[in-house]
Amino acid sequence: MGATHGLPDAKELATELNARHETSSAETIIGAAHELFRNGGGLAAVSSFGADSAVLLHLIATVDPDLPVLFLDTGQHFGETLEYRDRLAADLGLTNVISISPLPDVLAEADPEGRLHQSDPDRCCAIRKVEPLARAVEPYAAWLTGRKRHQAATRAAMPVFEAVGTRIRINPLARWTTADQAEYMRRHNLRENPLVAFGYFSIGCFPCTQPVQPGDDPRWGRWAGKAKTECGIHLSGLENALSSSASRIHQQ
């Protein structure tokens, strides 16, 4: 496990790394992040094992199959996603997939019947995703994600290296297009989440994900009919949750 502290100069470091890796390939970015953080503060990856996850995980497996891969087991996933997590990890030889669950006492109090997503999806994501992710990444100085700029308007200007409080989030595939992704999947014959065949091109929790028609925006199938477009783990909610998680841990 990595250190329990972030980086005092995360913002500065992110700016410097973005300048250095302006035209670097995803392979180079992952290699550089590994060299910089694996033994210097700690490095992990976060994966939803969704429609687009195999590419990042394949790249990670070629660099370090023992890298911690954090999966948020919200308790509301499709069974197919949980099965895919295990099968893909076995295909790629990933040895350190860590499933993180929401806190049982919080769930018992706030969502005893598992229906909070209907009445208050933001609160549901806060207790099933944001708090568990903050707890999961707390021991690491940096973590990799598979997010891409084309996936959502909220990600259009996303940098490759981002400071999240005193930690760094790394998006090595930020510049990739749908075509880049499809070509890489084909070239390496990577296993696809079985839900993709049924029109689920962006996959989250079962109650909040719908299939879309080919050609439609894949994100349309997430929280369809609601104003919500992100679960909060990539927005400022995580930074806030990390600060409160750190202060909780340091008070113990």
By CB under 6 A, tell whether 65 contacts ligand SF4.
no
The residue from 21, 58, 85, 129 that contacts ligand SF4 (CB under 6 A) is 129
Residue 205 assigned to a binding site = yes
For ligand SF4, the binding residues in 195-214 under the rule CB under 6 A are 204-205, 207-208
In contact, 140 and 45? CB cutoff 8 Å: no
By CB under 6 A, tell whether 148 contacts ligand SF4.
no
Measured in degrees and rounded to the nearest 5, phi and psi for residue 230 equal -135, 150
Residue 146 assigned to a binding site = no
By CB under 6 A, tell whether 121 contacts ligand SF4.
yes
Query: Distances from the Cα of 181 to the Cαs of 77, 178, 215, in angstroms?
Result: 23, 5, 16
Alpha carbon distance 79, 220 (integer Å): 21
By CB under 6 A, tell whether 76 contacts ligand SF4.
yes
The residue from 125, 141, 173, 241 that contacts ligand SF4 (CB under 6 A) is 125
- By the 10 Å C-beta count (0-12 exposed, 13-18 middle, 19+ buried), 8 is classed as exposed
Task: Determine whether 231 is an active site residue.
Answer: yes
* Region of 1-9, 35-43, 124-132, 141-149 interacting with ligand SF4 (CB under 6 A): 124-132
Residue of 44, 203, 231, 238 with catalytic role:
231
Q: Report in angstroms how near the CB of residue 91 gets to ligand SF4 at its nearest.
A: 26
Pick from 133, 162, 122, 4: nearest CA to 71: 133
Q: Count of residues binding ligand SF4 (CB under 6 A)?
A: 13
* Angle at alpha carbon of residue 53, lines to 49 and 56, rounded to 5°: 130
Look at residue 21 and give its three-state secondary structure.
coil
Q: Which residues bind ligand SF4 (CB under 6 A)?
A: 74, 76, 117, 121, 124-125, 128-129, 204-205, 207-208, 231
Residues annotated as part of the active site: 231
